[in-house]
Each structure stands twice: as C-alpha cells, then as structure tokens.
C-alpha cells in the first residue's frame, strides 16, 4: 500500500515535473513566438581561328567574329583561408529567389528552413531555431542582427533582388574582423554600385503563393563622377498551410523603397550614400495583423592612399518597429560608426585595423504573457580589431593573425583572436587551416526575460548570463583541377562552452550558461561547366552536434537542441542555356530528418524556365517545391505550418 | 523511395535530353581571349601615346596584371611585332608598384575586387587600361571589352583617355560605345 502510494506520488511528482517542463517549453515558445511571431502564440568542339591568323583580319572583320564566351567560366580559386561561398547575381536569377532567405538555400553548411509564410530558421553549422543566434548578417555593412535575441528578423530583411551584386557567406567564426555574433558564420549581402544599375528596370509577376509582386528601378547620373539609383517594390505573399492543407492565415504584404548614390570626387575617394524605407503587414488568425516598419540610412567613405593602403569610414542609422497587437511591440534604434584602415607597414605585411561604436536603444511593449524588463534599454558596444596578413612565401604561404577586442554593457571586455594559414602549392589549389575563438554576447532574451510579466514568474532570464564561447578548428581544401571544374571541402571541429540552458530544478525556471557542446562536420561542393551551355553544381553537408549538461545544471533541453538540425543535406543544381534564347534552371535539394520535431527528410525540387525574346525583356516561369503539393520544413507537429508548392510567372523589362 | 528515384530520373532526363538540340547548332567561332589578345595588339596601332612617355626605340609594353587569361595567345600574336619603330613586349605584373614602363595594361578579371584602387593609382599616367570586368569603362577604365550578341564590342571612356593624354583613333571609336562622363579637355 505504502509502496503504491509512493509510486503514485512519484508518478504524480513526475507528472507535475513533466507538466512544468511542458509549461516551460511553452513559455519559451511563447517568447519565441512573440519575437518571431509564430501563429500559435566546356568549350564546344568547333574549329577556332588560330590566334596568329586573327592578326590578318581588319577591325571590321574582327568586330564581326562570333566569340566563344567564357563569361560563365568558374571563378579563380579563392585563396582565402576560410569556408566561403558566394551567391552571385546570376545564381539569384537562376534560383528565381524572391527573398533573401530563399537565396541562401543552396549553400553547403547553411540550414534554411521556412517555418511559415514569413518566418525562417536559418543558421550555419548547427543550432537552428526560429530564434537562432549564432549568425551575423550584414547588408552593405549594416548589421541586421537584433539585440533582442542575437538573431535576425528575416521578415523585414528585403531588397530589390536585381540590385544585389552578391551574397557572400563565410561559414565558421568571422569574429576576428566582424565581431560579436559572428560565431558560426557571417552573411554579407552586397548591393550593386549605382554606376552598374543605370537606366530603367521594371519587374512584375504573380503566382499561386506569390500572389503578386512588382518592382521598378531607375538609375541616372548626378554629375561627371556621380551616379544614383532609386527603387520601389512591393509584394503580396500568400499564406502557409496547416498540415491538412488549410490556409494558415499568415499572408503578408510589403512595400519597400530606397536609393543609392555613389560619388568619386577624386580618383582616390569614393563616397556612397544609401537608404531604405519599408512597411509590411502580416495577417494573424487570432488577432489584428502584425505591423512592421522601418528604415535606414548609411554613408560610406573610402579614401585610398596607395594600392595597399586605404581608409574607410562608415556611419549608419537604422530604425525597426514591430507591433504584434496585444502580444508584443518593439522599436529599436541603432546608431553605428566604424573606421577601418589598411596599410602595409613592411614588405610582406598587409595590416587591417579598425574601431567601431554602436548604440542601440530598444523600447519594448510588454504583454501579460511575457515581458522584457526593463522595457527600455540603451546599450553601447565598443569594438576594435587588428589583423595582419603575412606573406611567408610569395604566392605560396600566407599567415593571418588578428584579434578583436570589444566591450559590451553586459559582460565587459571580450577577446576574439584567430589565426589562419593558407598554402597554395599550385596556383589552382589552396589548403587552409584556422583556429579561432568567438563569443556570442548575451542578448535581452538571455538576461531580461520574464514570463508571465507579473510574479509569480514561471520563467526568468539570467541577470548574470555570460557570453557563450566557441573555440573553432577548421581545415579545408579548394581546388580547380581543370578550368571547368572547381571543388572545395571544408571540415570543422567546434567546441562550445557556456551555452544557454534551461534550468528545470525548481520554479521559476531559469536560463543559465549550463550547457557545453561540440560539433563537427564536413561541407563539400563542386561546380562544373560541363559544356558551354551547361553548368552543374552540387553540395553536401554533414553535421553532428553533441551537447553535454554541466554537472551543476538541471537542464533538460539539451537533447531537443541536438535534434534541431538535420545530419545530412545535399543539393544538385543545373543551369542550361537552350536555343531560341531560352534558359532552364533546375535544382533539387535533400534536407535530412529533423529528429526533435519529427520533420521527415525531404527532397525538394525547383525549376525555372526563362525566355529572353529581345535584349530588353525576359519572361520567366518559376516552380518551387514542384513535386509535392506542400511540405514541412521546420516546427513541432502541434504548431507546424507547411509550405505549399509555389508557381509564379515574372516579366522583366529594362531600357 | 521509388517515387523519389523516379522524380530524380525525370529531372535528369529533362536536363540531359535538351542539350542535344542545343549543341548541334553553332557557327565557326573564335575563342574569346584570342580575339581580345588581337585587339590589345591593334590598340598599339590605333591609339597614340604622348611622345615623352614613349621615347624612340623604347620597347612598347603590353602588361597584364592579375591572373593571365590569355595563355600563349597574346605572346604568339605580339611575337616579333614592331609598331612605329617600337618593339612589342608582353610583361606580367602582380602589383601596380612593379609597373615601371607600360603602354597598355590589361587588368585581369582576377583583380575585379580592387579595380577602383588599381585605376586610381594609374590615374594620369599615360597607360591605356583595358579590362573585361563588368562596367570596366564606366568605372573609369579606358577600354572595356563587352560581349554582346556573341560579338566583341568596345566600351570607351573618353574622359579617362583624355586624362591619360591618349588619343584614340576614330577608326576604333566608330565601332565603340562611348561611356562615362563627357570628356573634358585639359
């Protein structure tokens, strides 16, 4: 009898504990929801003229020759000692990417999961989530990271896609130069110069999911060495779907406009001014739409003294506003100043150093369910870095050493040193290795979170939450065996300390630095210009994430976090030029199972067929998620949204 | 699994079958960089350098900065050629500081990221800068190679040519697109 009572009370205790955990998980989800606003809370074989014979031809005859273009020839092998992938403007067009997150899908080592119609979970090398916090994202040097959770609100990061020159993705810590939050990777979105976007461009289209979108750009001159462009775009994006296929009620509309002006008053000076304004509204099933708005203005000045020496200064202001009626509101103002100087103090040395100051002023509107206390918070971040690239052997061996030092209001000084070595045994091969330390400084969700907003609290942030620390070791190879083939393999072993844990010992549940972990993985990619009209590229990612609970911690979230990233990912892309000015791009990607969320492994196929009947117009039909009417990418089964097959047509005219 | 295999197969077929039609057609064509090399040679004839920068009997240098895309073709074309009494030479440079004497400088695609810097340090030297990266002439290079409808075209920045005190023959200009600001005579 006693035994029975004991076991009953034990199971009751267990039941209560499970309930508590579920409620804690729920509270964290609510916080995540409110923040991210989830709905639930070759050359052709043709005879060519020998070069000498060409000399005999007249100018007119030369101008009339048809050329075999190698414009699609793969880039020279990068000598950078880092795992870098560049998404070019061509890639963006070929993918038919309508947004920045969609443009990041075919990059080894990067996880992109669409959570619903507007929210994405994006990370590099593990730790994915709707509030993923180990990736730094910059748009033309402007950080778009939110100090609320050290992550990115992807729903407001937009651009006129045709204005993007490239997206550079550096996996691994970029902390030495970029600073806090560049823990697992850095994404640099770089826009085209105003000089290269002259004239008119008008685009528009519609489809079943992309219900309507349009954009226009005009570029002109302001003087002999000054160019500008202005653009405006908008879209009406359809909702995601419930697993049963019903409309999940999260359709969105956005408008954005902006400008960029570039001026070179002297050959050694370049000044850029740019800015954007946006406003968006996202439907909610259980309340008024979420309203998002904001804008930014940036000035950048480069002065070059010699080929190896220049000075760069940049200042920007950014305001972003988020209003989820009766759940959460935030206005964030950021002011940022940076200075960078590059010079060669001695032969074989190439030194870059810089200073930075950022002020963020955050004003949160709390609700009964959760609060960030204090609601208003102003933080200052001071940064400095120095890095020397030392040529140990000309064109062969390069050593890069450097460190960033920063001071933030939470944890004071942080040091982030790194060392990288690149060896180019032949011009077409680079072998590189790196060891670096990076930190993720605390954010408001770690320190200031209270749920509910009044005591008795159920979940409380840790007012002494410390920085998460990464030690990363990387080894990679890049090679170009023939002029048509490029390959790269990157491997890494990361050890993390003081990761965020959820302490479930007693109420209120607490956040703490109670986890440590390690990840290792391999990322491989290859691209091949099979023949002049056909390019193939492929990638594979393997990732293993192991977390351990600190002996003093009562965390129980570790297993879940381990299961939030797929172990295998792979993709294949094909880009084919057909006769009659047609191009056909097709791609398939496999994303492995996400065990914690029961999201099955998925193969998703996209395709784009485009026809350019004249020099100044293009018509394209794009299909995404072609072979399934809908598929899940992320999220627990109970709150999951699925992504429907998207087919849209697009017309572009430039003149 | 079978369904997946079938889908992949369909996709593969789609991709593989189409090129057969694509690759059968096509006229006799010229390798892009052979043609560009030929133009570099002709520029020596169709552009005039200030006499003080090119003393009598001094060699006429065609330089390449960055990773040489021409292979042997430029050397073959230029071999044993003499223009106005100047023997033609091809030299390869890694940085601007190595450039002592050079009449034509081809800036290779590998240098795209530091094009502005390179150009600013050549500015006002009488060097004909030639390149094929995007907007080369718009970005103050003097002659940019542009491929349009499978033909090679030239984009010429006359203001930049004037600043470098170079005179480009009308024979060449007639076939070129003039870009950049209106030229200012100094």
Beta bridge pairs of residue A402: A387, A418
Encode pLDDT of A70-111 as tens digits: 333 333 446 678 888 989 888 999 999 999 999 999 999 999
A66 in a structural domain:
no
Portion 122-141 of B in contact with A at CB < 8 A: 123, 134-135, 138-140
Say if residues A276 and A318 touch (Cβ distance below 8 Å): no
CA distance A385 to A382: 11
Encode pLDDT of A376-429 as tens digits: 999 999 999 999 989 898 778 989 999 999 999 999 999 999 999 999 888 778
Say if residues A125 and A494 touch (Cβ distance below 8 Å): yes
The whole-number pLDDT of residue A531 equals: 84
CB contact under 8 A, A51 and B97: no
Encode pLDDT of B24-65 as tens digits: 233 345 678 888 999 999 999 889 998 888 888 888 999 999
Query: Per-residue DSSP letters for A500-543?
Result: EEEE-SSSSEEEEEEEEEEEEEEEEEEEEEEETTEEEEEEEEEE
Domains and CATH numbers, chain B: 32-179 (3.40.50.2300)
Chain A contact present for B169, CB below 8 A: no
Residues in chain B with pLDDT values less than 70: 1-30, 123, 182-186
| A523 contact partners, CB below 8 Å, separation of at least 6 | A83, A108, A109, A171, A489, A490, A491, A539, A540, A541, A542
The whole-number pLDDT of residue A629 equals: 93
ipTM reported for the complex, 2 dp = 0.76
CB contact under 8 A, A307 and B67: no
Nearest-CA neighbor of A79 among A387, A351, A340, A425?
A425
Question: Is cis: bond before A456, omega within 30 of 0?
Answer: yes
Domain that holds residue A337: 2-40+73-654
How distant is the Cα of A268 from the closest Cα of chain B, in angstroms?
Answer: 6
Q: What is the phi/psi pair of residue A148, to 5°?
A: -70, -45
Q: Is the pLDDT of residue A180 over 70?
A: no
How distant is the Cα of B105 from the closest Cα of chain A, in angstroms?
Answer: 16
CB contact under 8 A, A307 and B96: yes
Residues of B in Cβ contact (< 8 Å) with A65: 29-30, 35, 151-152
Report the residue from B18, B29, B76 with minimal CB separation from A51.
B76
CB contact under 8 A, A49 and B184: no
Residue to test with chain A: of B2, B16, B19, B110, most A Cβ within 10 A: B19
The whole-number pLDDT of residue A70 equals: 39
Q: Is the pLDDT of residue A594 over 50?
A: yes
CA distance B139 to A225: 9
CB contact under 8 A, B32 and A70: yes
Chain A contact present for B27, CB below 8 A: yes
CB contact under 8 A, B159 and A63: no
Say if residues A388 and A400 touch (Cβ distance below 8 Å): yes
CA distance A465 to A513: 6
A52 in a structural domain:
no
Average pLDDT, chain A: 87
The whole-number pLDDT of residue A590 equals: 97
Residues of B in Cβ contact (< 8 Å) with A195: 135, 138-139
A467 in a structural domain:
yes
A35 in a structural domain:
yes
Encode pLDDT of A117-127 as tens digits: 989 999 999 99
Chain A contact present for B13, CB below 8 A: no
The whole-number pLDDT of residue A4 equals: 38
Q: Is the pLDDT of residue A174 over 50?
A: yes
Report the residue from B22, B123, B151 with minimal CB separation from A67.
B151
Chain A contact present for B114, CB below 8 A: yes
Burial class of B101 by CB neighbour count within 10 A (0 to 12, 13 to 18, 19+): middle
A51 in a structural domain:
no
- Considering A31-35, A300-304, A470-474, A563-567, the range whose residues carry the highest mean pLDDT is A470-474
The whole-number pLDDT of residue A232 equals: 97
The whole-number pLDDT of residue A365 equals: 92
A200 in a structural domain:
yes
Nearest-CA neighbor of B176 among B157, B158, B160, B153?
B153
Residues of A in Cβ contact (< 8 Å) with B147: 67, 69, 71
| A281 contact partners, CB below 8 Å, separation of at least 6 | A252, A253, A254, A289, A290, A291, A292
Encode pLDDT of A491-525 as tens digits: 999 999 999 998 888 888 899 999 999 999 999 99
Share of chain A above pLDDT 70, in %: 89
A49 in a structural domain:
no
Q: Is the pTM of this model over 0.80?
A: no
Q: What is the CATH number of the domain that holds A199?
A: 2.40.170.20
Q: Is the pLDDT of residue A348 over 90?
A: no
CB contact under 8 A, B147 and A427: no
pLDDT tier at A177 (50, 70, 90 boundaries)? confident
Domain count, chain A: 1
CB contact under 8 A, A66 and B150: yes
CB contact under 8 A, B18 and A578: yes
Say if residues A41 and B22 touch (Cβ distance below 8 Å): no
How distant is the Cα of B143 from the closest Cα of chain A, in angstroms?
Answer: 15
Chain B contact present for A63, CB below 8 A: yes
Portion 417-436 of A in contact with B at CB < 8 A: 427
A397 in a structural domain:
yes
């Amino acid at each position: 009898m006693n035994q029975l009572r004991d076991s009953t009370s034990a199971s009751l205790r267990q039941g209560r504990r499970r309930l508590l955990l579920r409620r804690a998980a729920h509270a964290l989800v609510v916080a995540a929801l409110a923040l991210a606003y989830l709905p639930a809370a070759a050359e052709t074989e043709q005879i060519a003229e020998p070069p000498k014979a060409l000399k005999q031809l007249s100018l007119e005859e030369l101008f009339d020759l048809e050329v075999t273009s190698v414009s699609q020839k793969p880039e020279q092998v990068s000598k950078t000692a880092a795992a870098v992938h560049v998404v070019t403007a061509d890639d963006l067009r070929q993918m038919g990417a309508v947004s920045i997150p969609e443009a990041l899908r075919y990059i080894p080592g990067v996880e992109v999961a669409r959570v619903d119609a507007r929210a994405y979970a994006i990370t590099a090398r593990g730790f994915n989530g709707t509030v993923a916090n180990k990736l730094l994202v910059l748009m033309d040097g402007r950080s778009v990271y939110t100090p609320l959770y050290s992550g990115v609100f992807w729903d407001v990061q937009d651009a006129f896609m045709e204005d993007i020159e490239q997206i550079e993705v550096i996996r691994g810590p970029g902390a030495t130069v970029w600073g806090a939050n560049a823990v697992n990777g850095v994404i640099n979105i770089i826009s085209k110069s105003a000089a290269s976007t002259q004239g008119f461009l008008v685009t528009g289209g519609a489809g079943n999911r992309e219900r309507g979108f349009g954009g226009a750009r005009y570029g002109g001159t302001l003087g002999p060495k000054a160019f500008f462009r202005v653009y405006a775009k908008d879209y009406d994006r359809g909702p995601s779907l419930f697993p049963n296929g019903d409309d999940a009620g999260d359709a969105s509309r956005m408008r954005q406009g902006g400008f960029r002006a570039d001026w070179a008053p002297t050959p050694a000076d370049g000044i850029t001014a740019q800015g954007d304004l946006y406003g968006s509204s996202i439907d909610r099933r259980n309340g008024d739409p979420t309203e998002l708005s904001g804008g930014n203005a940036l000035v950048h000045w480069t002065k070059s003294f010699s080929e190896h020496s220049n000075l760069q200064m940049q200042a920007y202001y950014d305001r972003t506003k988020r209003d989820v009626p009766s759940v959460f509101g935030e206005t964030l103002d950021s002011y940022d100043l940076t200075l960078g100087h590059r010079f060669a103090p001695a032969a074989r040395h190439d030194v870059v150093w810089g200073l930075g100051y950022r002020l963020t002023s955050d004003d949160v509107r709390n609700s009964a369910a959760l609060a960030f206390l204090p609601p208003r918070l102003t933080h200052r971040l001071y940064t400095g870095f120095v890095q020397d690239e030392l040529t140990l052997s000309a064109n062969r061996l390069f050593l890069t050493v450097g460190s960033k030092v920063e001071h933030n209001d939470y944890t004071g000084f942080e040091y982030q040193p790194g060392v990288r070595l690149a060896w180019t045994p032949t011009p077409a091969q680079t072998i590189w290795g790196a060891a670096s330390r990076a930190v993720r400084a605390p954010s408001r969700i770690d320190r200031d979170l209270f749920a509910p907003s009044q005591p008795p609290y159920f979940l409380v942030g840790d007012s002494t939450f410390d920085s998460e620390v990464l030690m990363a070791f990387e080894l990679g190879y890049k090679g170009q065996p023939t002029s048509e083939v490029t390959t790269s393999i990157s491997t890494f072993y990361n050890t993390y300390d003081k990761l965020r844990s959820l302490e479930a010992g007693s109420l209120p549940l607490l956040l703490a630095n109670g986890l440590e972990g390690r990840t290792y993985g391999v990322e491989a990619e290859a691209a091949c210009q099979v023949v002049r009209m056909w390019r193939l590229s492929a990638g594979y990612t393997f990732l293993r994430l192991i977390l351990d609970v600190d002996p003093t911690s009562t965390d129980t979230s570790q297993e879940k976090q381990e299961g939030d990233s797929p172990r295998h990912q792979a993709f294949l892309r094909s880009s084919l030029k057909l006769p009659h000015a047609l191009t056909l791009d097709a791609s398939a990607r496999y994303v492995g199972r996400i065990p914690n969320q029961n999201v099955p492994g998925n193969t998703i196929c996209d395709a784009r067929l485009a026809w350019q009947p004249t020099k100044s117009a293009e018509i394209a039909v794009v299909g995404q998620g072609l072979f399934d009417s809908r598929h899940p990418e992320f999220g627990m089964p109970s709150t999951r949204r699925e992504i429907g097959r998207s087919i849209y047509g697009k017309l572009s005219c430039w003149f | 699994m079978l369904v997946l295999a079938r889908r992949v197969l369909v996709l593969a077929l789609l991709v593989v079958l189409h090129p057969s039609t694509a690759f059968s057609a096509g006229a006799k064509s010229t390798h892009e960089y052979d043609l560009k090399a030929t133009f570099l040679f002709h520029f020596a004839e169709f552009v005039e350098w200030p006499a003080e920068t090119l003393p009598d009997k001094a060699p006429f240098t065609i330089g390449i900065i960055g990773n040489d895309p021409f292979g042997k073709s430029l050397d073959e074309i230029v071999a044993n050629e003499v223009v106005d009494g100047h023997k033609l030479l091809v030299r390869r440079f890694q940085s601007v500081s190595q450039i002592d004497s050079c009449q034509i400088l081809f800036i290779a695609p590998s240098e795209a990221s530091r094009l502005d810097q390179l150009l600013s340090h050549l500015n006002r030297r009488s060097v004909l800068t030639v390149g094929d990266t995007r907007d080369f002439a718009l970005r103050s290079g003097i002659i940019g190679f542009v491929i349009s409808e499978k033909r090679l075209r030239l984009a010429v920045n006359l203001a930049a040519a004037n600043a470098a005190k170079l005179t480009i023959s009308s024979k060449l200009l007639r076939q070129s697109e003039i870009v950049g600001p209106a030229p200012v005579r100094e």
